[in-house]
């Protein structure tokens, strides 16, 4: 007589031994971590993907291991066309380079296929094995039956699910199964759980530490009616055959862990180590909540690109988020490559991380401040061409000019920190381009005539041959001529003793030259604008005062 496993899987001819031989243990040094990202291609790539990606990437590459990408595309209904490409490109953009797995061009590596829909045959080999071992069985319950069951359980205030006396198909005789199959009834394959919900056991997670968990007694679905595996079954089969040593994933999977442990045991697989990452949260008023796709645009990875955060800054920020000792390390190693940091999954916060936009902005300012002008120029221009094409065109038209602007205050011990994002650049440096120069608005505390007098005197006394010191001496001299003081200490001690100070005169010049009340050093600005063009602006401002 045909056995149940032959009845259910007549097409399966491969054996688990053949698969074991086809996907042998990897030849890697002791301690090398093999890990993966296993995202579902829903088209939405979020900050959580990056947190998980960087954690896995660091763990693999710091140990001489392997990071691979597996696409979990078993839920065809949720799949968005092009999502796999978007996913791969976004992760690449953030420096997450996979050693193997799904790529835009196809599969790379010896442990594939890396897209789950292409692995149906493999899952069925192990499904058949479990049936042979008496660890899985077909269930022909209809949706209506399952709903009725759940309602009864709820009414009785019992735990809901397919377990114990509710596991209706667990011990049916073979003839009944055969009859249902012959009648063409759809079925799912269920796990025969050996667990008992009154028992607990200890489990060690690399982030969460030692946890006490309850055994699973639910006969969960392994294969859906279309033969496609559930996440749980695919996780066990894939991570075993792909020789994953560490599973880094979101802690929403923690409740399924007791089931996963049973599955690995039933299949005769060695259990990988687990790194369950807590969620990303944000402050909402006085309380914390999880970042939400619906409410928080900053959850999407595309947000950072459009907002103009350099990849390096997002990377740096995520590192500070993941390992609390990263900032100390950074202070001690200001110029080191972040990959030199001794990253450890054990330093992750088990409760998850608080995402702090202000902190990201701060980190980004520091990261941009340390970049050489040429790099700032290249990244900014690339961003602007896409997100502010008009500005992008101006930047691209005269690279030397733009780089001279971006070089202001860069390179020293205390570099300027004007830019947190590329979006800030136009506000900061736009005045260097005539089209973006705002009309001057002078300090209303001073009569127009006073401002006009200062500007006119400046035009008369200035000389393009003056160096910075000589230039400023002349500004001070015209300050004194106007009855203002050039002695800032005296002015600060008693402002009422003077009609104004050299700071006010510089302010007039600044507004005339830049249209703004703060800007980089004026002499430097004039140097970049060119003497004549700068004086042209002062003259125009003077005209405007008449």
Size of the site for ligand GLU (CB under 6 A): 8
Which helix (DSSP H) or strand (DSSP E) does residue 459 occupy? helix 448-461
Q: Which of 33, 39, 141, 406 binds ligand GLU (CB under 6 A)?
A: 39
Residue 271 or 477: the one with the smaller Cβ distance to ligand GLU is 271
- Scanning 38-46, 297-305, 411-419, 526-534 for contacts with ligand GLU by CB under 6 A, the matching segment is 38-46
Q: Which two three-digit tokens encode residue 280?
A: 């990303």
In this structure, is the dihedral angle defined by the CA atoms of residues 439, 442, 447 and 453, taken in order, positive or negative? negative
- Scanning 127-135, 246-254, 378-386, 414-422 for contacts with ligand GLU by CB under 6 A, the matching segment is 246-254
Q: Residues 6 or more apart from 281 whose CB is under 8 A from it?
A: 288, 289, 290, 291, 352, 353, 354, 355
Stretch 249-268 residues interacting with ligand GLU (CB under 6 A): 249-250
Residue 70 or 128: the one with the smaller Cβ distance to ligand GLU is 70
**CA geometry: angle 353, 358, 364, nearest 5 deg:** 95
| Shortest distance (Å) from residue 247 CB to ligand GLU | 6
Q: Which of 12, 34, 38, 167 binds ligand GLU (CB under 6 A)?
A: 38
Stretch 350-389 residues interacting with ligand GLU (CB under 6 A): none
Stretch 66-95 residues interacting with ligand GLU (CB under 6 A): 72
- Scanning 36-44, 173-181, 302-310, 439-447 for contacts with ligand GLU by CB under 6 A, the matching segment is 36-44
Q: Residues 6 or more apart from 354 whose CB is under 8 A from it?
A: 281, 282, 283, 288
User: Are the CB atoms for 141 and 168 separated by under 8 Å?
Assistant: yes
Which helix (DSSP H) or strand (DSSP E) does residue 323 occupy? none
- Scanning 247-255, 287-295, 401-409, 410-418 for contacts with ligand GLU by CB under 6 A, the matching segment is 247-255
Site of tokens 């920020």:
317
- Scanning 35-43, 162-170, 334-342, 458-466 for contacts with ligand GLU by CB under 6 A, the matching segment is 35-43
Q: How far is CA 502 from CA 217, 450, 484, 540, in A?
A: 81, 13, 7, 22
Residue 69 or 380: the one with the smaller Cβ distance to ligand GLU is 69
Query: Does residue number 40 form part of the binding site for ligand GLU (CB under 6 A)?
Result: yes
Q: How far is CA 325 from its chain centroid?
A: 20
3-state secondary structure 85-144: HHHHHHHHHCCCCCCEEEECCEEECCCCCCEHHHHHHHHHHHHHHHHHCCCEEEECCCHH
| Shortest distance (Å) from residue 249 CB to ligand GLU | 4
Strands 273-277 and 246-250: parallel
Residue 250 or 527: the one with the smaller Cβ distance to ligand GLU is 250
| Shortest distance (Å) from residue 541 CB to ligand GLU | 59
**Cα separation, 43 vs 87, whole angstroms:** 7
Q: Which of 235, 246, 330, 510 binds ligand GLU (CB under 6 A)?
A: 235
Q: Which two three-digit tokens encode residue 97?
A: 């380079």
Residue 72 or 219: the one with the smaller Cβ distance to ligand GLU is 72
- Scanning 34-42, 222-230, 366-374, 393-401 for contacts with ligand GLU by CB under 6 A, the matching segment is 34-42
Stretch 160-199 residues interacting with ligand GLU (CB under 6 A): none
Closest to 96 measured CA to CA, from 29, 30, 39: 39
- Binding residues for ligand GLU (CB under 6 A): 38-40, 72, 235, 247, 249-250
């Amino acid at each position: 007589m045909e056995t149940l496993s032959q009845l259910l899987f007549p097409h399966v001819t491969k054996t688990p031994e053949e698969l074991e031989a086809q996907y042998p243990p990897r030849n890697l040094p002791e301690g090398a971590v093999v890990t993966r990202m296993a995202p579902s291609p829903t088209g939405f790539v979020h900050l959580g993907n990056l947190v998980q990606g960087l954690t896995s990437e660091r763990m693999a590459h710091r140990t001489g291991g392997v990071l691979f990408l597996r696409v979990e595309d078993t839920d065809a209904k949720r799949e968005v066309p092009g999502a796999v490409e978007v996913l791969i490109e976004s992760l690449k953009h953030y420096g997450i380079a996979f050693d193997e797995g799904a790529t835009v061009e196809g599969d790379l590596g010896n442990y594939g296929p890396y897209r789950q829909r292409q692995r149906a045959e493999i899952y069925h080999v192990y499904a058949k094995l479990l049936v042979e071992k008496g660890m899985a069985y077909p269930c022909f319950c209809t949706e209506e039956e399952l709903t009725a069951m759940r309602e009864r359980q709820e009414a009785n205030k019992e735990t809901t699910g397919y377990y114990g006396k509710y596991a209706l198909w667990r011990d049916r005789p073979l003839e009944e199964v055969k009859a249902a199959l012959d009648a063409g009834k759809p079925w799912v394959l269920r796990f025969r759980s050996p667990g008992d919900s009154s028992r607990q056991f200890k489990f060690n997670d690399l982030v969460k530490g030692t946890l006490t968990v309850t055994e699973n007694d639910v006969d969960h679905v392994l294969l859906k009616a279309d033969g496609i595996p559930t996440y749980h079954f695919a996780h066990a089969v894939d991570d075993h055959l792909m020789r994953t040593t560490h599973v880094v994933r979101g802690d929403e999977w923690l409740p399924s862990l007791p089931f996963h442990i049973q599955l690995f045991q039933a299949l005769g697989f060695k259990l990988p180590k687990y790194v369950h990452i807590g969620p990303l949260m944000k402050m909402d008023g006085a309380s914390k909540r999880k970042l939400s796709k619906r409410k928080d645009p900053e959850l999407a990875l595309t947000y950072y690109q459009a907002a103009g955060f350099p990849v390096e800054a997002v990377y740096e920020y995520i590192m500070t988020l993941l390992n609390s000792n990263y900032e100390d390390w950074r202070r001690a190693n200001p110029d080191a490559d972040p990959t030199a940091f001794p990253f450890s999954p054990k330093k992750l916060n088990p409760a998850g991380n608080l995402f702090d936009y202000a902190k990201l902005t701060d980190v980004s300012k520091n990261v941009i401040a340390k970049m050489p002008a040429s790099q700032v120029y290249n990244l900014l221009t690339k961003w602007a061409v896409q997100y502010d094409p008009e500005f992008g065109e101006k930047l691209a038209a005269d690279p030397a000019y733009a780089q001279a602007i971006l070089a202001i205050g860069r390179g020293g011990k205390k570099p300027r920190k004007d830019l947190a994002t590329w979006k800030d650049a136009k506000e900061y440096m736009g005045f260097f381009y005539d089209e973006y120069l705002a009309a001057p608005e002078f300090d209303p505390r001073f009569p127009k005539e006073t401002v006009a007098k200062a500007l006119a005197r400046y035009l008369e006394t200035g000389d393009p041959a003056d160096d910075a010191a000589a230039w400023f001496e002349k500004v001070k001299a015209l300050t004194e001529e106007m009855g203002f003081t050039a002695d800032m200490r005296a002015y600060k001690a008693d402002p009422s003793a003077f009609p104004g100070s050299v700071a006010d005169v510089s302010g007039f010049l600044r507004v005339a030259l830049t249209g703004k009340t703060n800007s980089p050093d004026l002499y430097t600005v004039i140097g970049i604008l060119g003497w004549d063009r700068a004086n042209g602006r002062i003259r125009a401002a003077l005209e405007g005062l008449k």
